[in-house]
Amino acid sequence: MASAKKKIEFNEYLKFILDTARDRDMGKTELMNMCGIPRQRWSEFERKGRTLTGRYFIKFMEGLNMTIEDVEKKSGRKMTAAQRREIQIESWQSAHRELIEAMVDNPGLLKILEAAINSNKR
Each residue of 23-67: pLDDT tens digit?
999 998 899 999 999 888 888 888 878 889 999 999 999 999 999
Q: What percent of the chain clears pLDDT 70, i.e. is strictly above it?
A: 94
Residues whose CB falls within 8 Å of the CB of residue 64, separated by 6 or more in sequence, listed in order: 17, 20, 21, 24, 31, 34, 35
Other beta carbons within 10 angstroms of residue 44's beta carbon come to 13
Distance CA 105, CA 93 (A): 16
Q: Report yes or no on whether pTM surpasses 0.95.
A: no
Check pLDDT > 50 for residue 1: no
Mean pLDDT, residues 91-107 = 91
* pLDDT reported for residue 122: 66
CATH of 11-121 among 1.10.260, 3.30.360, 1.10.1760, 1.20.58: 1.10.260
Is 71 within 8 Å of 13 (Cβ atoms)?
yes
